[in-house]
Structure 1
Amino acid sequence: MQSGGRAFVLTLVAAGAWLFATPLGPGVLGIDSPIQEPAPAPAPVVEPPPLTLDELSARVDPTVVTLAASAGFSGVAGTGFVVAPDGIVLTNFHVVENATEISAVHMGNGLIYDATVLGYDKSRDVAVVQLITAADLPVVELAPDPLPDVGDAVVAVGNASGAGVLVPAPGAVTALDQQVRTRSSVDGSANTLDKMIRVDADVRAGDSGGPLFDAWGRVVGVNTAGLSDEARNGTEFSPPQAPEAYAVPISEAVAVLDQVVAGQSGGTVHVGPTPYFGVSVRDVSVFENKPAMGAAVVSVTSDSPAEALGLSAGDVIVRFDGAEIGSSPDLSEALLGRRPDDSAVVEWVDDTGVSSSGTVTLAAGTPTA
C-alpha cells in the first residue's frame, strides 16, 4: 500500500550547540549540557495477516446494502455501502439515475428501507443515498491510503446479477488512473469516466455501487463497470474474455460525499432534490439567423416548465438567470445548483433570430444531469 505518512529530516544545527565550562574545584572542569541518549527508532507498522474470503465476508457484509431503483416500468438492481450509522450510503449515480422510488435491503439486519438521493455527481458516477429511519448501522472502514498499488489483492462485493445475495469476487489491481467509456445496460447511454482503478475481478451487473475491499476489509473503491454478459461468456464468433472491471477510487467518492453532506452544490456535484426544466438540448454552431453559441432546444416535454415558458424545438437558450449559456453542458451546470420551485430568468433566440426572455419556475424531477 502507498504510505500516507510524511518524512521528517532531523538536522543538527552547529550554531546552536554550545559547551560551557565551569570550574568545580582545583583543576576540574564540568560540562553543564547534559548528555542525551539517542531516541529509539520508531517501531515499523506491521499489517495484520490478510483476511480469508470467509473472514472478509463476515466482517464486511453487514455494512453493505442491496438497492432496487424503479422509474416507471423499468428498474435497476445495484449495491451500496454504509458510511454513516444513520444510514448514509455511497453507490453509483447510474444505479439511481431517473429513479422515482428506491428501496434498500440491509444485509446485516435484513431490514428493508425506503431511500432518497441526497446528492450526486454524474461525471464521477457517484451518488449519496439516505436510508430513511435507519439508525445505529455498522459502517465500512475506509482504506488509509488514497490508492492501492498495482498487484494488491482486492475483493469486489455486490448484488451480482441482482439476485439479492452478496457474492464476493476476488482479484487484483491491474492498473490505476484509467479512462473508461461505459455504456448503460438499461438505456444504452454512454459516459466517460476518469481516474478509475482497473481490476481483474469478475464484477457483474448488480454489483454497481458496491465496495471494492482490500485484503483487510477496507474500502478502496466503488465498483462501477464490468464486462457484458456476451464478453464474459463469449459468443459463437468470439471466445470469453478474461475478467476486467473498473472502480471509482474511494477518495473520489468521499470528495462527493463530503460536498453533499456539507450541502454545497457546485462544480459537477448536485445536492438536494433535482429540479426539472423539461428540455433536451444540444450544442450549436454558426448557422443562419442563429447565435453561434448556446444550447439548442431539440425537444420540449409536454406540461413542463419549459413549455409553460414558451420554449419550442429550434430555439437556442443563450442565458439562464444571468449566466451565459455557450453550450448544452453550460445549461446542465446552471441547473446543478438549483432546486425545485426555484425561479430563473431564461433568454433565448428563436429560429427567425428574434430574442425573448421569461421567468421559469422549476418543478421537481428525478436524479439526472
Structure 2
Amino acid sequence: MPSSRAASVVAVAVAVVGGFLLNPPPVREADVPAVTVAQPAAPAPPPPNVLTPEEIEARVVPVLVTLVADSGLVDTAGTGIVLTPDGVVVTNHHVIDGALDINAVNLANGAEYVVDVLGYDSSHDIAVLQLQGAHSLPTATLATSPTIRIGDPVTAVGNAEGNGHPVPARGFVTELGRSITARSSTDGSRNRLSGLIEVDAEVRPGDSGGPLVDTTATVIGVNTAGNADSDPSTPPPAQPRSYAVPIATAMAIVDQVRSGRTSSTVHVGDTPLLGINVTNNERGAEVLWVGIGTPADHAGLEIGNVITDFDGTPVRSSTELSERMIAKHPGDTVSVRWLDDLGQSRAATIVLDEGPPR
C-alpha cells in the first residue's frame, strides 16, 4: 500500500494524463519538477531489558572467578571476569602485582585453576590471565559502545573482603572521566589512574578486578578502587566513592596482550627480573635495593650505584628504566652501565632472570 504522499502523487499523474487526452498542453519536459517520496521512519529500537537485582546477580556470578595471589609475604584476594570459554580472564594489575603463585576458583562450576599471567598494563591497572585447563566456561557480556551516563544505576560484584563468595554493591554513576591516585591496600604503593567511571557503590578490598554492570547485567567497567583519594593530601570522602576502568579501555589492553604487542606500558608474557629497586636521581636511576643472587647482584651492582644506560639507551630516571624493562623477557641479554660509589663508570652484560609480574 503506498503512503499518503505517494498516493497523492499517483492521483495527480492520472489527472494530468486525462487532461492531455482531451486538450493537449505544450510539452515542456525540462520544467517538470522532481518529486521525492518520503520513506517511512525506521522503527525505534526496543528498550533494554532491565533486570531485577536478583536477576543481575544470577547472570553475573557465573562469569566470575575469585583470585588469591601469593607473593610469599602476603596473600592478595581479588576478582576476575571470564572473557572466553577457555579461561582468558581480565582483572586488576594490583591484584597480581608481585605474585609468585595465583589460584582462581570459578563461581560457575566451583573448579580451582592455576593461573598464568599473559600480560599487563600497570599504568591502567589491568592484567590478563589464563586459567590452566579451563574449557566451556560461561563468559561475560561486555558493553560494545560507551552509552553510560551520570545517574545510571549500576552494580559492582566481587570477592568482597576475600571471603570467597560474591557480594553485590549497588549504586549510581556519579562522574565520568575521573582521575585518582589509588593506594594499594597491601603495600601502600600509589598509582595515578585516569579516565575512570566514578560510582557511589561501596567497592571493598577483594572486589578489585570484578565487573561493574548496568541494569542489563552488561559489563561496563572493571572495578579498581574503593574510596580512593582524588588528592593524597585529603582524607577519604564520607560517602562511598568507587572507581572502575571502562571496559573499552580494559579490552583494548586485553586485545593488545593477546596479539603479543608490547608498548611503553603494556608487557606481554613472563616478567623479566633484573633484581633491583630504583629511585630517581639527577644522573639516572639510583639503586635502593639489590636482591641476593639476582642478575644485578652477580653483575656487581650495589646500593647507591646509579644506572645511566640500559641496553644501549641512556637512562635519566627510574621511570625510563622501568619502561625499558617492559619490552624485555626472561633470558634476554642486556648491557647495563652505571656509576659506582666513587663516580666511576662501570658496565656489565646481564642475562635477565624470570620474576613476578610488576
Question: How far 1:354 moved relative to its partner?
Answer: 1.4
Deviation per residue, 1:330-362 (Å, 9 max, x gap) = 000000011101000111122322112111000
Kindly provide the amino acid, as one letter, of the partner of residue 192 in structure 1: R
Structure 1: distance between partners of 2:114 and 2:201: 30
Larger radius of gyration: 2
The correspondence of residues 170-209 of structure 1 with structure 2, limited to 5 A, is 170-209=170-209
Determine if contact 1:316/1:348 at 8 Å carries over to the other structure: yes
The correspondence of residues 17-96 of structure 1 with structure 2, limited to 5 A, is 27=24, 37-96=37-96
Structure 2: distance between partners of 1:87 and 1:210: 15
3-state SS, counterpart of residue 83 of structure 2: strand
**Structure 1 moving runs of 4+ over 3 Å:** 24-37
TM-score by length of 2: 0.87
The correspondence of residues 91-170 of structure 1 with structure 2, limited to 5 A, is 91-146=91-146, 148-170=148-170
Determine if contact 2:276/2:288 at 8 Å carries over to the other structure: yes
Structure 2: distance between partners of 1:38 and 1:30: 26
Kindly provide the amino acid, as one letter, of the partner of residue 115 in structure 2: A
| Residue in structure 2 matched with residue 335 of structure 1 by the alignment | 325
Deviation per residue, 1:133-158 (Å, 9 max, x gap) = 11121211111323621111110010
Determine if contact 2:155/2:171 at 8 Å carries over to the other structure: yes
Structure 2: distance between partners of 1:99 and 1:195: 27
Structure 1: distance between partners of 2:219 and 2:264: 25
Determine if contact 2:308/2:337 at 8 Å carries over to the other structure: yes
| Residue in structure 1 matched with residue 266 of structure 2 by the alignment | 269
| Residue in structure 2 matched with residue 247 of structure 1 by the alignment | 244
Structure 2: distance between partners of 1:79 and 1:300: 32
Deviation per residue, 1:39-65 (Å, 9 max, x gap) = 221222232231101111111211111
Determine if contact 2:227/2:237 at 8 Å carries over to the other structure: no
Structure 2: distance between partners of 1:270 and 1:212: 25
Kindly provide the amino acid, as one letter, of the partner of residue 226 in structure 1: G
Structure 1: distance between partners of 2:127 and 2:328: 17
Question: How far 1:72 moved relative to its partner?
Answer: 1.1
Question: How far 1:367 moved relative to its partner?
Answer: 0.5
Deviation per residue, 1:249-301 (Å, 9 max, x gap) = 1111111101101111112111100000011111112xxxxxxx311112211
3-state SS, counterpart of residue 57 of structure 2: helix
TM-score by length of 1: 0.84
The correspondence of residues 287-298 of structure 1 with structure 2, limited to 5 A, is 293-298=283-288
RMSD across aligned positions (CA): 2.2
Kindly provide the amino acid, as one letter, of the partner of residue 40 in structure 1: P
Structure 2 unmatched runs, 5+? 1-19, 229-234
Structure 1: distance between partners of 2:236 and 2:97: 33
Structure 1: distance between partners of 2:28 and 2:132: 74
Kindly provide the amino acid, as one letter, of the partner of residue 259 in structure 1: Q
Determine if contact 1:147/1:220 at 8 Å carries over to the other structure: no
Deviation per residue, 1:8-37 (Å, 9 max, x gap) = xxxxxxxxxxxxxxxx99947597999663
Deviation per residue, 1:189-234 (Å, 9 max, x gap) = 1222111111000111110100000111111111111139xxxxxx
| Residue in structure 2 matched with residue 318 of structure 1 by the alignment | 308
Structure 2: distance between partners of 1:73 and 1:348: 31
| Residue in structure 2 matched with residue 350 of structure 1 by the alignment | 340
Structure 1 unmatched runs, 5+? 1-23, 229-237, 286-292
Structure 2: distance between partners of 1:255 and 1:280: 30
**Residues matched between the structures, number:** 329
Structure 1: distance between partners of 2:325 and 2:236: 45
More deviation, 338-347/67-76: 67-76
Structure 1: distance between partners of 2:347 and 2:33: 82
Determine if contact 1:70/1:99 at 8 Å carries over to the other structure: yes
Structure 2: distance between partners of 1:99 and 1:107: 22
More deviation, 117-126/240-249: 240-249
Question: Against the structure 1 CA distance between its residues 358 and 243, is the aligned structure 2 distance closer, same or farther, given a 3 Å change threshold?
Answer: same
Deviation per residue, 1:96-140 (Å, 9 max, x gap) = 111111111111111111111110111111100101111121211
Question: How far 1:239 moved relative to its partner?
Answer: 12
